[in-house]
Structures are given as structure tokens and as C-alpha cells.
A and B are shown apart, each in its own frame.
Chain A
Amino acid sequence: MNKLFYLVIALLVLVLAACGSNDASEPATDAPEETAESKEVNLYTARHYDVDDELYKKFEEETGIKVNLIKGDADELLERIKREGDGTEADLFLTADAGRLYRAKEDGLLQSVSSDILDEQIPEKFQDTDQMWYGLTKRARVLVYNKETVKPEELSTYEALTEDEWNGRVLIRGSENIYNQSLLASFIEIEGEEKAKEWAAGLVNNFARDPEGGDRDQAKAIAAGVGDVAIMNSYYFGQMLNSEDPAEVEVAEGLGLFFPNQDTTGTHVNVSGAGVVKTAKNKENAIKLLEFLSAPEAQGTFAETNYEYPVNEKVEPSELLTSWGEFKEQDIPLSALGDNNAKSILIFNEVGWK
């Protein structure tokens, strides 16, 4: 009994001590606002790449502004900002999908900001029409194919993959994935709901197997001979080519990359981007961070280490990205991706895209 009693006491003391030291080591959590206003920026981000952290460190060194981070799933972060209401500490919301930025705007969580530097560094196409958010990196949803069984001439458009010759040969991940939802949302925007549904149903009909795994898994399934062509994001292909695992590199080297819809509507492109939160207490710092992330140095880093395309047109994409060649992008307002998101999900459910 006594031993247990002391155990409990000791535990409590330990916990309290940990509690104390925790507070001390992280002033950001509870720091009063007086000092915070000028030297901090609070970022809610759905991107969790190591390269992002490095860039924030660099930003801190250059400006002396501390970047406080909460990383999480985009939807869940949005919900959190919403629930925290006017009192939220969030200054900047950063995510890897235009649809979510659109939703943040629709929910009244963002504010309009204007900055000459941002206008200079980010083309209008990748800005929200009301300047509520700005795109920072681009990723293309491309086709990868088995070099041995498919000739690039046989490929043309996303739509063509629904034809009979591709029956049982197409690979793509599940419909719960935001990249697929945005892809279908773009079709709804360009061709209307009916056509989009036909495409989704046609693709399901040509699936090599029920969707499973992530983008990389689709590429591996091609190598394994399950299918011949997969729809995946460009940067995953870059990551596989540069993987620590030699087997993955080998898989990627056996695949070709194809930009679809070059003669028609263009390859589907989505962005990572960020918007300043409506009630931001450190608005100026948030804008500074946006300017930093869209400046040539950070843009080059995104391309070099994460294989994403820079939005800043003055920045050369990395060697690898350049080797894939230039391509024509879909020309639709990115907010359409968010606008049509719910419709895409309903269509996926209806056509049985798991």
C-alpha cells in the first residue's frame, strides 16, 4: 500500500515537473500578446514536409519572426479555426489543395491582403480573385505508364482512358483522396456534371483493380504488371526516382511520364497555397511569410527537394522537372475545384469508385 502511495505521489510530482518545464520551454503556447505582435506568426499548415520546416527556420533567421506551427489534416485544421472563432490564434492557413483554400474563403475564415511583392512573384492565375489566398507550389496530376507495354503515342487524354483498349489496365487511388476529387471537380467545371460522371463511370469500368494504397502504390502496381497506366501526382514520381530504397528507384525508372490533354484542355494542376486568417493578430508577419515563400529562393527549394513546380515564373524548375518538359495546364479558376468538390464525391459514390 505504502509503496503504491509513494509511486502515485512520485508520478504526480514528475508530471507536474514535466508540466512546468514544458511551459518554460515553449513560451509560444501561453506567451502574452504584448511581445508576440511584432515577432511571431502562427501558422496552421496541412503540409508537413521537412523542407517546409527548413524554410521556416530560414525565415526566422532572416526576419527574427518566430514561426509557430500546428500541422494537421487540412479539413481538421479548418474545422478548428472555425470552432475557435474570433479568438483563434491562427494567422496563416496553408494547405496543399486549392479546394480547401476555397472552402476556407467560403466559410469566411480568410481576409483579403494586397502586396506588390506577392503580385510580382505570384501570377494572377494562382491568386484568389479577391486575394484571399495565394498559390505557392504547383503539382500536376499526370499519367505514368509501363515503358515496355505502352507507347507514349497511345496516350492522349484522361478521357481516352475510358475507351475499351484500356479495359482492366488503369490504376488510380481511392475516391476519398482529395487529388482525385479535385481532378473530377475540374472535369465538372470544364465539361459539366453529366460528362464528368460518364468519365468517372468509364474509368471505374477500366480499373485494373479496386483502388488501394497511395499514389506510389499505383506506380508499383504497374511494375508488378497489375495494370499499364496510372494517374498520379508528378512529385511522387520525383520522390520515387530519388528514393532511399533502390527497389523503388528501379520501379520508377521503368516508367514513363506523360502530360495528358495537351491538345485539348490541358493537364490538371492543383496548388499548395495559403491565406491570411480573418482575425489574424500578426497579419503583417503573415504577409511577410507569404512573400518569403513565393520568393525565388524558397521556390527553388520547393522544386529542388520536393519536386513541386514553382508558381514564381522567374524561377527555373529543377533539373528533374525540366527534363519532364513543359506542358499545357488546365485553364480554369482554381476555386472551381472547391466549388465542385461535394459534387465530385457524390458522383464517385454513384459510380462506385471506392
Chain B
Amino acid sequence: MQRRLANINIWTVAAIVIIAALFLPNLTIVTGLFTPSNENWAHMKEFVLWSFVKNSLILVVATAASTIFIGLSLAWLIAQYQFPFRRFLKWALILPLSIPPFIGAYTYHGIFNYTGVIQTTLRERFDMELNPAYFDIMNLPGAIFIYTVFLYPYVYTITQVFLAQQSASLIESTRLLGKGPWRTFFQVVVPISRISIIAGASLVVLEVLNDYGVVKYYGIQTFTTAIFQTWFGLGDIETSIKLAASLMGFVIVILLIEKILRGRRQYSYASTKVRPLPLVKLTGWKAVAAASYGFAILALGFFIPVAQLIDWTILTFGTIPLDEFMSYIRNSVFVAGFSAAVIIVFALIVGNFARLVHGRLAKLLPKLTVLGYSIPGAVIAVAVVTAFVSLDEFLAPLYKLVGMNTTLVLSVSIILLVTAYIIRFFAIGYSSIETGYDKIGTDFQDASRLLGAGLTRTFFKVDMPMMKGAIISGFILVFIDVLKEIPLTLILRPFNFDTLSTKAFQYASDEKIMEASQASLLIVGISALAIVVFYKFLEKELD
């Protein structure tokens, strides 16, 4: 008993310290809720707030629905059926995640607009001048399309791994009972994969709520637009923080809903024998249809935009100074890899804490860290800078002691940027680790403890090996997200520190999307490589 307590304390203390550190900077935002509102707030409420909220809601609901539809249907096809190119599609369908949505948005606009390949071809080859409104994607449906084709992999990946690993016995029983594929799908697959669907979809929702690049370029006014408008346009940071705080409140509601939907059910391995589902072989038109569906989505989310980027790269090659690109690549990979590693270690500690300590509070506490993902990057940036400047002021005597005559050390260093990434993307790593812990449950843990192993020993000897898949997938997801990140990197990086995404963004924001294609292609290439590595690893694990 004594020992158990001591062990729990180490984990508890570590977890609580991490949660506090991740949450603290966000407190600036929470306090914003309680400041009195001013005339700008009244103005926003009178004229624009409702339409902003409405647009955000439409985007969120529609994108969630379509990513669930596409992600789940693909996951089901891959997990259940054998058809041509299945092995390739299985991992390739994650690739759209490697394209930052704002780049995707520019690319698709590039394809569809008047000087784009479609209209140009129609005009020049077929002499057809169609109503340009048919090709206009810079609107709400267009934005939903962009988010869907580039974000569905969140739902797909998490659900597919889940279905492949755990549903075998359940689904087999259903088959034995003579239920057809549709009934199996709706009565068994959908309910049992609820957790992974919700986990994936909530990442999509948070990503959409937070995006600024796509909606700004497409001219759609959302909640995030409102935050930026009041802050920068009206110079009213109070109202802006109030809006950010409301957004955070909204996210808390989403998280609570997730919690309720998840309920008290636990879906962990029932036995040590986790075996993959035997695949049903599709033939004839069914096989063709399944493969075509996969390829169609993949084309929309990867091949078409990449082809456009390659085309632009060829057009502008030689006009872009490439001499610094090696350093952009180094910087990008370094910050992404480092942040992802730290996040995974933290997530393992916090996740283990949430799993082992009973009580509602302990389960809810880790959820607080997800809030970082709900606040627009620029707002986090300021919160983090503020915290670091105070920290530097606190440490200033120490700096003097070692002979530095400056007061700002940490807050102008790369540590600031990495900290911000960790706050921002902890949710991504954590959700992967949490799903992993859910899957292994506590039975093995209990057995190990009964046999006399301590908590820490059990963690390394028993839990970790089973968590490999979750660790790798969490790492890769965070890695890719940091690689694509924009506002934090722009605001917080130290002097002379450019990454591929800052470079791509700078060209794009000057409306030089063609010139942005080189850096964009490199982002896509590196992320795609990470996805392939991730897949190879997972495949070895699962086979």
C-alpha cells in the first residue's frame, strides 16, 4: 500500500506539473471572459457576430459530417475487404494530411480560377466559355470541400487502426449470424468505432475552428476572423480575448459531449489474441468500385493538388533563390521532431495518470490541456510571449550573474517557439496516446502489479511495448502538424529563423502562390515521407 502511494505520487506530480504548465498561459484567455464588455463588443454583437458564428457552425458541422462519412467508409473498406490496390490505398489515404489546408485552398483556387488549367483548357482546346460562377470555389461549400479532402485522414487513420485490430470477433459473429454488409456496418461497425470516430472528428473540428488561412483567402467570415479583426483591426485586445474565451467555452462543450458520448464503456482487448479481421474478397464491379472510390478521394486530397504544385514549381524554377532551402528544411524538421518527441513523452505521463487515478476530476484534468488546440495560434503566441517575458524578468538577476547584459533570453530563443508548439499541439499527441491506453486497458497492468512489479517498471515493461503503435502515430501526427503550422511560427521564431511553411506562407500572402510551390512541395514531401515511415512501422507491428 505504502509503495503504491509513493509510486502514484511520482506520476501524479509529474502529470499535474505538465498539465499546469500547458494550461497556465491559457489562463490569460480565461480571465478575458470576466472583463466588462465595451462598445466594440456591442458593435460586433449588433452587426456581425451572428453571421460569424453561423458561418463557423456551418463549417464545423458540415466538415465533421463529411470527414466522418469519408473517413469511416474508407476505414471500413480497407479493414473489411480485399480489392485491387488495397495495400497501397491503406497507407496512401493518409497522404492528404501532408498538405496544409491553406496551401490546398490556394492550389484548388489556382486550378479552378480563370487562368487555371480547367478554364484555360476549356477555352483554348474546346473554345468553351462557361459561366465562371460554376468554377467558383471561394465560398462556404468550397471551404468545406477543402477541409474535407485535407482533414478526413484524422478520422480515417484512427478508425482504420481501431477496426483492423479489434473488431474481428464482433464482426465475425455478426457475419455468422447472417447479417448483410450494410446492417453489419450500421449496427456493429459504427457503434463500436464511435470512440475513434469522435476522436478523429473532434481533431477535425478544432482544426477548422482554428484555421485562418483558408477562410481569409476565400473571404468567409468566421469566429476566428472576428478574433483577428477586433484585435488587429480595432486594436482591442480585450474584446478579442473575450471572443477567444467564448470559442474556448464552445470547445469545452464539445469535449464534454465527447465525454458523454463515450460514456462509461470501455473497449479494451478482451484477450491477448488480437488478430486482424479476415478480409472479404471483392470481385467484379464491386472491386472496381471500391478501388475507384479510394483513388478518387486520394486524387482530390493529394494527386491533383500535388500535380498543380509541381506544375507551378516548373514554371517558376530559377526565379526563386534556392540557396537557403537547406536551412529551411533543417529548421522545419528540427522543431517538428523535437516538439513531437516532447509532446509524446508528456502525453504518456499524463495519459498514464488519467488511466490510473480514479475519480472524475483526474479524468477531466488532462482534457484541460486540449484547450491549447482550441485557441487561435496568434492568441496563444501572445499568451506565451507574455509568460516568457515575465519568466525572463524573474531570471534577469541570474543572467547578470553569468555576465549577460540583456534581460530577454528565453523569450527570444527557440525554446519559446517550441513551448508554444507543445501547448498548441499537445491535444494531437495526447488523443493518440489516450486511444492507445484505452485499447490496452488495465488488465495487463493489474496482472503485472499483482505479480509484484512496481508502477514504473510495469509502465516500461508491460505498457510501453503495447503502446508502440500509438506512440509512433502520435509522433507522426504532431510532426506533420508542426511542419504545417503558420501563425505561431511567424510570430515566435527567433531572428533569421525561417521554416518551409513560413517561406510558403510569405509568398502566398503576397499572392505569389506559384513562387510558394517549391516550399509547399517540400513540406508535402517531408510529411509524406513521415507517413510512409509511420506506415511501415505500423505494418510490422500489426502483422
Q: Which residues of A contact B (CB under 8 A)?
A: 1, 4, 8, 11-12, 14-15, 18-19, 22, 25-26, 28-30, 32-33, 42, 48-50, 53, 68-73, 75-77, 79-80, 83-89, 103, 173-174, 176, 181, 209-217, 220-221, 223-226, 236, 239, 243-245, 247-248, 250-251, 341-342, 345-346, 349-350, 354
Given contacts A87-B392, A212-B138, A345-B233, A14 and B337 within 8 Å (CB-CB): yes
Q: Is the CB of B497 within 8 A of A26?
A: yes
Contacts of B218 in A (CB 8 A): 212-213
Does B461 interact with chain A (Cβ within 8 Å)?
A: yes
User: Looking at the complex, which one of A15, A48, A72 makes contact with B491 (CB distance below 8 Å)?
Assistant: A72
Closest chain-B Cβ to A95's Cβ sits at a distance in Å of: 12
Closest chain-B Cβ to A175's Cβ sits at a distance in Å of: 9
Q: Is the CB of B221 within 8 A of A75?
A: no
Q: Is the CB of B502 within 8 A of A28?
A: no
Among B113, B218, B316, B327, which residue has the most Cβ atoms of chain A within 10 A? Answer: B113
488-507 of chain B: CB within 8 A of chain A: 490-498, 502, 506-507
| A-B CB contact pairs (8 Å), 28 listed | A4-B465, A15-B341, A19-B334, A26-B497, A29-B496, A32-B403, A32-B404, A32-B406, A33-B405, A49-B510, A50-B321, A70-B493, A72-B491, A77-B491, A83-B385, A83-B389, A86-B407, A174-B219, A209-B136, A212-B136, A212-B138, A214-B511, A217-B109, A223-B114, A224-B119, A239-B511, A245-B514, A247-B116
Contacts of B158 in A (CB 8 A): none
Closest chain-B Cβ to A235's Cβ sits at a distance in Å of: 10
Closest chain-B Cβ to A26's Cβ sits at a distance in Å of: 6
Q: Is the CB of B219 within 8 A of A76?
A: no
Q: Is the CB of A22 within 8 A of B491?
A: no
Instruction: Give Cα A103–Cα B235 distance, bound, in whole angstroms.
Output: 9
Contacts of A4 in B (CB 8 A): 464-465, 468, 471
Contacts of A76 in B (CB 8 A): 232, 378, 381, 487, 490-491
Q: Is the CB of B132 within 8 A of A87?
A: no
Q: Is the CB of A345 within 8 A of B389?
A: no
Instruction: Give Cα A1–Cα B465 distance, bound, in whole angstroms.
Output: 5
- Can you name the residue of chain A whose Cβ is closest to the Cβ of B338? A15
Q: Is the CB of B407 within 8 A of A245?
A: no
434-465 of chain B: CB within 8 A of chain A: 460-461, 464-465
- Can you name the residue of chain B whose Cβ is closest to the Cβ of A4? B468
- Can you name the residue of chain B whose Cβ is closest to the Cβ of A69? B496
Q: Is the CB of B497 within 8 A of A29?
A: yes
Q: Is the CB of B389 within 8 A of A84?
A: yes
- Can you name the residue of chain B whose Cβ is closest to the Cβ of A344? B233
Q: Is the CB of A220 within 8 A of B414?
A: no
Contacts of A88 in B (CB 8 A): 408
Does B355 interact with chain A (Cβ within 8 Å)?
A: no
Q: Which of B78-86, B177-185, B223-231, B297-305 contacts A (4 or more CB under 8 A)?
A: B223-231
- Can you name the residue of chain A whose Cβ is closest to the Cβ of B412? A89
Q: Is the CB of A245 within 8 A of B460?
A: no
Instruction: Give Cα A239–Cα B506 distance, bound, in whole angstroms.
Output: 16
Q: What does DSSP make chain B's interface, helix, strand, loop or mixed?
A: helix
Does B386 interact with chain A (Cβ within 8 Å)?
A: yes
User: Looking at the complex, which one of A29, A68, A69 makes contact with B413 (CB distance below 8 Å)?
Assistant: A29
Contacts of B460 in A (CB 8 A): 1
Among B319, B403, B414, B511, which residue has the most Cβ atoms of chain A within 10 A? Answer: B511
Contacts of A70 in B (CB 8 A): 493-497
Contacts of B385 in A (CB 8 A): 80, 83-84
- Can you name the residue of chain A whose Cβ is closest to the Cβ of B331? A22
Top 5 A-B residue pairs of the complex, sorted by shortest distance between their CB atoms:
A247-B115, A75-B232, A48-B506, A87-B408, A212-B219
Closest chain-A Cβ to B107's Cβ sits at a distance in Å of: 14
Closest chain-B Cβ to A6's Cβ sits at a distance in Å of: 13
137-189 of chain B: CB within 8 A of chain A: 138-139
Given contacts A251-B114, A345-B233, A15 and B412 within 8 Å (CB-CB): no
Given contacts A76-B490, A215-B511, A224-B132, A176 and B114 within 8 Å (CB-CB): no
Q: Is the CB of A29 within 8 A of B495?
A: yes
User: Looking at the complex, which one of B43, B219, B341, B506 makes contact with A349 (CB distance below 8 Å)?
Assistant: B43
- Can you name the residue of chain A whose Cβ is closest to the Cβ of B407? A87
Q: Is the CB of A341 within 8 A of B407?
A: no
Q: Is the CB of B234 within 8 A of A345?
A: yes
Contacts of B407 in A (CB 8 A): 86-87
- Can you name the residue of chain A whose Cβ is closest to the Cβ of B119? A224
Q: Is the CB of B219 within 8 A of A220?
A: no
Q: Is the CB of B109 within 8 A of A224?
A: no
Does B196 interact with chain A (Cβ within 8 Å)?
A: no
Q: Is the CB of B413 within 8 A of A30?
A: yes
Instruction: Give Cα A260–Cα B465 distance, bound, in whole angstroms.
Output: 71
User: Looking at the complex, which one of A26, A32, A75, A215 makes contact with B496 (CB distance below 8 Å)?
Assistant: A26
Contacts of A84 in B (CB 8 A): 385, 389, 408, 411-412
Given contacts A29-B412, A76-B490, A213 and B495 within 8 Å (CB-CB): no
Given contacts A76-B487, A213-B219, A214-B511, A346 and B495 within 8 Å (CB-CB): no
Does B31 interact with chain A (Cβ within 8 Å)?
A: no
A80-B492, A88-B408, A213-B138 given; 20 more Cβ-contact pairs under 8 Å: A18-B337, A19-B334, A22-B330, A26-B497, A29-B414, A29-B495, A30-B409, A69-B495, A71-B490, A79-B491, A80-B491, A83-B385, A83-B389, A87-B406, A213-B113, A213-B218, A217-B109, A248-B115, A346-B43, A349-B48
Instruction: Give Cα A245–Cα B115 distance, bound, in whole angstroms.
Output: 9
Q: Is the CB of B495 within 8 A of A244?
A: no
Contacts of B392 in A (CB 8 A): 87
Contacts of A243 in B (CB 8 A): 514
Instruction: Give Cα A216–Cα B221 distance, bound, in whole angstroms.
Output: 20
Instruction: Give Cα A342–Cα B38 distance, bound, in whole angstroms.
Output: 14
Flag B319-339 by CB within 8 Å of A: 1 or 0 each. Answer: 111000001001100100110
Contacts of A176 in B (CB 8 A): 216, 221, 225, 228-229, 233
Q: Is the CB of A354 within 8 A of B221?
A: yes
Q: Is the CB of A48 within 8 A of B464?
A: no
Does B34 interact with chain A (Cβ within 8 Å)?
A: no
Closest chain-B Cβ to A15's Cβ sits at a distance in Å of: 5
User: Looking at the complex, which one of A18, A181, A221 makes contact with B132 (CB distance below 8 Å)?
Assistant: A221
Among B219, B327, B495, which residue has the most Cβ atoms of chain A within 10 A? Answer: B495
Closest chain-A Cβ to B377's Cβ sits at a distance in Å of: 10
Instruction: Give Cα A338–Cα B262 distance, bound, in whole angstroms.
Output: 51
Q: Is the CB of A349 within 8 A of B47?
A: yes
Does B315 interact with chain A (Cβ within 8 Å)?
A: yes
Instruction: Give Cα A12–Cα B337 distance, bound, in whole angstroms.
Output: 10
- Can you name the residue of chain A whose Cβ is closest to the Cβ of B113? A220
Q: Is the CB of B330 within 8 A of A345?
A: no
Instruction: Give Cα A8–Cα B340 distance, bound, in whole angstroms.
Output: 12
Contacts of A15 in B (CB 8 A): 334, 337-338, 341
Instruction: Give Cα A9–Cα B329 distance, bound, in whole angstroms.
Output: 23
Closest chain-A Cβ to B540's Cβ sits at a distance in Å of: 10
345-397 of chain B: CB within 8 A of chain A: 378, 381-382, 385-386, 389, 392-393
Q: Is the CB of A345 within 8 A of B229?
A: yes
Q: Is the CB of B132 within 8 A of A354?
A: no
